[in-house]
Amino acid sequence: MYNITAIPGDGIGPEVMEGAMYVLDNLRIKIKWDIVNAGASVVQEKGRPLPDEVLQSITTNRVVLKGPITTPVGKDFRSINVELRKRFKLYANVRPVISIPGVKSRYSGIDVVIIRENTQGLYTGIEYKTDRDTAHALKLITREASERIVQFAFVYAKKHHRKRVTCFHKANIMKLTDGLFLESARQVARRYPDLEYQELIVDNGCMQMVINPEKFDVLVMPNLYGDIMSDMCAGLVGGLGLVPGANIGKDAAIFEAVHGSAPDLAGRNTANPTALILTSALMLDYLGEKDKAEILRKAVFRVIKEGIYVTPDLLGSASTLGMAEEVVKYINL
Ligand code: ATP
């Protein structure tokens, strides 16, 4: 029996969470869900977006399936996503982006894994004004965190039989911060002579990614570049509805799709549940349930390849739950 915290979140979160939980509950794995909520939708009731019961549940269960959370606009609210990653020291954000047969896209054969440093960079939240017209943001990079994330990337690459790790950076301009990240990456890369190591300045890396995405393998980079690169790569494989993600630390893991709360789709039951279902497969991998994770992935890919019971972003007319129900049919075949 696994005790897992579920945070439905905001916008399309509750809809895609319903789909993912329905699929997981039909995989014949015993999961005891603790459903708690955070984000804009709980502010009115609880007075703040990250109630204690959420933190308590994560501390107890240490494995979380999470929907997107909107940070309420206003100077009193910091990003809850960033807060959770920092509080539970979830230093590695892992986002596998693959071309799924059946999805209409100009590209095929994409199979990259973005590994993003998740606790530092420009996400420290340290910003201040020195006068009415001047604002500063602090970009923090430490050797310890940089080596830790690059080490994670190489270990990941080895474990998943990957060939190459590419470090994206902007050390030509940010000589101290990205310079330190790059220096740390080189240091770690020397310990893995059997894996190819490559460096690219992030803007050039974006251009090359758009021209030849199938040439990339495992990517490692500071926080903000990872955020931007994730959405860009999602676009290359057919959209944000398809890309899963995991936030991993030593003592806890929060599994969440790359997409946000997509307010334009909220309440329509048309959001694609694939990203959160594939995120659930990453969670199963983490729990050691590799076979179940594979069954789940195969079922999702078959539904997408058939192209009938898919959501409007994949040019179908299925509802979020309708697509999830179709996945369950293939699980049971
Ligand atoms: P955030 O700032 O919270 O990360 P964002 O501005 O990146 O959010 P998203 O909410 O991630 O925006 O979504 C951008 C667009 O992608 C949405 O408006 C929606 O059209 C599309 N999208 C996102 N998720 C899905 C999904 N699960 N299914 C279908 N389309 C989606």
Residues of the chain above pLDDT 70, percent: 98
What's the rounded Cα separation, in Å, for the pair 295 and 95? 20
Q: Per CATH, which fold does 1-94+238-333 belong to?
A: Isopropylmalate Dehydrogenase (3.40.718)
Can you give the pTM of this predicted structure?
Answer: 0.95
CA 77 to chain CA mean position, Å: 22
What's the rounded Cα separation, in Å, for the pair 34 and 3? 7
Q: Is 159 helix (H, G, I), strand (E, B) or coil?
A: helix
Fold: same for 1-94+238-333 and 106-236? yes
Domain ranges across the chain: 1-94+238-333, 106-236
Task: Report the pLDDT value the prediction gives residue 74, as an integer from 0 to 100.
Answer: 64
pLDDT in tens, 275-313: 999 999 999 999 999 999 999 999 999 999 999 999 999
Q: Is the CB of 68 under 6 A from ligand 1?
A: yes
Task: Report the pLDDT value the prediction gives residue 264, as an integer from 0 to 100.
Answer: 95
pLDDT in tens, 31-86: 999 999 999 889 888 888 899 999 999 999 999 999 999 876 766 667 889 899 99
Place domain 106-236 in its CATH homologous superfamily.
Isopropylmalate Dehydrogenase (3.40.718.10)
CB of 34 closer than 8 Å to CB of 3: yes
Atom of ligand 1 nearest to the CA of 259: 11
Q: Which of 265, 272, 310, 311 has the most ligand 1 atoms within 8 A of CB, as the residue to mutate?
A: 265
pLDDT in tens, 37-50: 999 889 888 888 89
Atom of ligand 1 nearest to the CA of 12: 27
What's the rounded Cα separation, in Å, for the pair 11 and 257? 13
CA 73 to chain CA mean position, Å: 22
Task: Say if residue 258 is exposed, middle or buried (CB neighbours under 10 Å; 0-12, 13-18, 19+).
Answer: buried
Task: Say if residue 192 is exposed, middle or buried (CB neighbours under 10 Å; 0-12, 13-18, 19+).
Answer: middle
Residue 333: which pLDDT band, with cuts at 50, 70 and 90?
Answer: confident
Q: Which of 17, 103, 240 has the most ligand 1 atoms within 8 A of CB, as the residue to mutate?
A: 240
Task: Report the pLDDT value the prediction gives residue 72, as an integer from 0 to 100.
Answer: 65
What count of residues does the chain have? 333
